[in-house]
Amino acid sequence: MNDQKYLTVSALTRYIKRKFDVDPHLRDIYLKGEISNFKQHSSGHMYFTLKDERARILAVMFAANTASLKFKPQNGMNVLLRGDITVYEQSGQYQMYVKQMTTDGIGDLYIAYEQLKNRLEQEGLFSPLHKEKLPKYPSAVGVITSPTGAALRDILTTLKRRYPVAKVIIYPALVQGTAAAASVAKAITAANRRQETDVLIVGRGGGSIEELWAFNEEVVARAIFESKIPIISAVGHETDYTIADFAADLRAPTPTGAAEMAVPHLNELMERLQNRKNRLTRSVREKANADAARLARLDRSYAFRYPRQMYEQKLEQLDRAMERLKRESKRFFINKTDMLQRHVTALKKQHPQQRIADAESVLNRQERSIRRQMERIFAEKAKSLTHAISTLDALSPLKIMERGYSLTFTDNDTLVKSTEQVNKGDIITVTLRDGKIKAEVKDKRESAVNE
């Protein structure tokens, strides 16, 4: 017991889930049974139990798949399911994941219906590309149905009520029984051949699926598809879709509905006409008003309201230019005057008066200087001369005469120092202190002293 390995619940559940998942017999299986415990979640997912007398299985159908359902599943409803079996791990329950669900009970007919529908759909008979547009205002409406059925009465009543202007042509056809399909197809072909109508209503009143079956047959679908005249199908009641419905250009839920679709209501048309008329008038009026407003806007535009602006601004521009011209001319003139004034002031600073004064004072100084020097020189010279003269004078040999001596000179100015220098009769000059005496030598004697 101790060595025994215990699995976790998760591991076991995952193991079991894998077993389910790899089993091809549990993939894409078809299952039938009765619905119980049906719940539809707000998300659109459906949860229910499928059961028969002896067993039950949980089933889930996700919203992505429920969209294609043509019916609303209910408890007790027998259904045919298609899907996979797998394990929901959290609860450890196996359950069916349903991909498709159809009601059970029609059996072979239903399968035939489905098969034909798929085939024709793939062939393109139901393609929107081939749908023809219904005429808006048909002048003649064709009705293919039983002339005795309630459907025809409903259709005719409605057409009369809505659109009496259209003509109605009934193409009688069998709508029930084995010959019905061929009869309906023949009527469609006939209507197309006769080309009397703009639109066809093909249908009958409601009934069981077997009663409506003619409209699930290929021949009818092809006749509808081939028809050049647009066809409105009106088979049975609202919930029943036949192959003819798919092939028709438009499907009506009831014959009355088909008649309503085929023709407009006269009153509506009248209203429509009135509406168009109103729109016509309104749009023209709006156009005219808009144009008038546009014109008024232009009339009110600044350019038109204030045309003087055209030249007033220019006038202002001119005035400004003139003001500037005057100002600039004046400024120009003042600038030139200022410049001249500046030069003149600078020139005046260079006035030579000071230079002249300076030069004059230098000149005067020089002049005084030269005069002083000259006077000095003259004085010095004169002084030295005076000195020389007075010295000479002091040393004069003639000073002796001051004391009464005299000097005797011959007539040739030779100083007589000896008697021998003169002879009797010679004229001699005697120089005295205060003058000269001219004398004649009368005699001469030799001085004994000298002897």
Partner 1 sequence: MSEENELTFEQAMYKLEQIVEKLEDGDVPLEEAIAFYKQGMDLSRLCHQKLKTVEEQLTEILREDGELESFIVQEEE
CB of 60 to partner 1, least distance (A): 50
| Distance of closest approach, residue 259 Cβ to partner 1, in angstroms | 12
Helices and strands of the chain, counted as H and E runs: 12, 13
Nearest to 157 by CA among 197, 98, 201, 113: 201
Asked if 432 is part of the footprint of partner 1 (rule: CB under 8 A), the reply reads: no
- Kindly tell me which residue out of 109, 273, 437, 439 binds partner 1, with binding defined by CB under 8 A: 273
Instruction: Name every residue whose Cβ is closer than 8 Å to that of residue 106 and which is 6 or more positions away in sequence.
Output: 113, 209
Q: Name residues contacting partner 1, limited to 105-144 (CB under 8 A).
A: 135-137, 139
Cα end-to-end span (Å), the chain? 212
Region binding partner 1 by CB under 8 A among candidate stretches 49-57, 68-76, 210-218, 364-372:
364-372
| Residue closer to partner 1 (CB basis): 67 or 395 | 395
Eight-state DSSP code of residue 120: H
Per CB under 8 A, 370 contacts partner 1: yes
Nearest CB to partner 1, comparing residues 123 and 319:
319
- Determine how many CB atoms are found less than 10 A away from the CB of residue 77: 17
CB of 438 to partner 1, least distance (A): 19
Comparing CB distances to partner 1, the nearer of 75 and 366 is 366
Q: How far is CA 185 from the centre of its chain?
A: 65
Q: Confirm or reject binding of residue 179 to partner 1 (CB under 8 A).
A: no
Q: Does 333 help bind partner 1 (rule: CB under 8 A)?
A: yes
- Residue 397 makes contact with partner 1 by CB under 8 A: yes
Given the complex with partner 1, which of 29 and 374 has the nearer CB atom?
Answer: 374
- Residues 6 or more apart from 69 whose CB is under 8 A from it? 101
Residues between 183 and 212 that touch partner 1 (CB under 8 A):
190, 194
Can you tell me which of 91, 93, 335, 418 binds partner 1, judged by CB under 8 A? 335
Total binding residues toward partner 1, as defined by CB under 8 A: 117
Contact 39, 86 (CB under 8 A): no
Interacting residues with partner 1 between 243 and 262 (CB under 8 A) = none
Bridge partners for 439 per DSSP: 428
Which residue lies nearer to partner 1 by CB, 58 or 269?
269
Q: 363-391 as b/e, with b when 16 or more CB fall inside 10 Å?
A: eeeeeeeeeeeeeeeeeeeeeeeeeeeee
